[in-house]
């Protein structure tokens, strides 16, 4: 019997709800992430539902494309290491990435009724960095350069970029959610798959020798 694909199910559900919300303002407003509403009106569901919404088709496509590429790697790896419960742990990774990535905005903007955000970027970052933890020397093609970059180097550049943009940029992108999601992804993988921690550094050491 062919097992179900969690990554594909997440993509289908997210794309479906994003499509509905993009065409129904009431649904969009009801599900978006508002730290003010979550904190003061106890609408804690928003910490999760915002990941099912996207601001437009490009936003949706980029997130779901990255999830599709790296989610397959992570889901199959969790199935290998966690025989029989791998999909459950993979789902915990994704949902945990959603929730954990909201924490900085909850602290920073809980008294700001005008702040809101949408998108699965925090969860996608968690999956991306879980894949880096699992396969640190795999090649990732950087968007602007047609050359492969080892995953662990790409990951370091990604974190530096997001940290810089979080402090300097005024582009209405929740950059802090990206690196909080990334941090959760790699930490969750190391804690739930203990052998991966030593394998990660062994692979990097081998890369330089």
**pLDDT at residue 172 is higher than 90:** no
Structural domain of 132: 6-207
Chain centroid to Cα 122, Å, comes to 4
Q: Nearest CA to 134 among 181, 188, 89, 199?
A: 199
CB burial class (10 A; 0-12, 13-18, 19+) of residue 132? buried
Q: Answer yes or no: is 140 within a domain.
A: yes
What is the predicted pLDDT for the residue at 142?
63
Q: What are phi and psi of 33, to 5 degrees?
A: -90, 115
CB burial class (10 A; 0-12, 13-18, 19+) of residue 27? middle
Question: Worst-scoring range by mean pLDDT, 57-66, 86-95, 158-167?
Answer: 158-167
CATH number (domain holding residue 11): 1.20.1540.10
Q: Answer yes or no: is 1 within a domain.
A: no
**pLDDT at residue 204 is higher than 80:** yes
Q: Answer yes or no: is 183 within a domain.
A: yes
Which tokens in the block code for residue 13? 């559900």
What is the predicted pLDDT for the residue at 1?
37
Q: What is the mean pLDDT of the chain?
A: 91
Contact 44, 38 (CB under 8 A): yes
The residue with tokens 């093609």 is 141
The residue with tokens 């003010």 is 36
Q: Answer yes or no: is 127 within a domain.
A: yes
Task: State the pTM of this model.
Answer: 0.92
What is the predicted pLDDT for the residue at 173?
62
Q: Answer yes or no: is 139 within a domain.
A: yes
Q: Answer yes or no: is 100 within a domain.
A: yes
Helix (H, G, I), strand (E, B) or coil at 187: helix
The beta strand positions in the chain, using DSSP E, are 139-141, 148-150
- Percent of the chain residues topping a pLDDT of 70: 93
Residue-wise pLDDT tens digits, 133-150? 999 999 887 655 577 889
Q: Answer yes or no: is 157 within a domain.
A: yes
Say how many domains are in the chain.
1
Sign of CA dihedral 158, 57, 7, 175: positive
**pLDDT at residue 6 is higher than 70:** yes
What is the predicted pLDDT for the residue at 161?
86
């Amino acid at each position: 019997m062919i097992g179900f694909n969690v990554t594909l199910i997440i993509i289908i559900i997210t794309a479906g709800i994003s499509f509905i919300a993009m065409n129904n303002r009431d649904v969009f407003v009801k599900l978006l992430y508002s730290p003010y509403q979550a904190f003061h009106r106890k609408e804690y569901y928003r910490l999760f539902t915002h990941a099912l919404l996207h601001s437009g088709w490009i936003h949706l496509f980029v997130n779901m494309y990255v999830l599709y590429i790296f989610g397959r790697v992570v889901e199959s790896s969790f199935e290998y290491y966690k025989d029989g419960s791998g999909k459950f742990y993979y789902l915990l990774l994704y949902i945990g990435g959603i929730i954990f990535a909201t924490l900085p905005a909850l602290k920073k903007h809980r008294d700001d009724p005008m702040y809101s955000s949408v998108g699965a970027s925090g969860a996608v970052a968690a999956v991306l960095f879980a894949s880096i933890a699992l396969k640190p020397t795999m090649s990732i093609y950087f968007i602007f350069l047609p050359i492969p970059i080892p995953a662990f180097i790409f990951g370091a550049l990604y974190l530096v970029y997001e940290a810089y943009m979080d402090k300097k940029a005024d582009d209405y992108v929740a950059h802090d959610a990206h690196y909080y999601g990334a941090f959760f992804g790699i930490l969750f993988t190391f804690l739930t798959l203990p052998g991966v921690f030593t394998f990660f550094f062994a692979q990097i050491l081998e890369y330089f020798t």
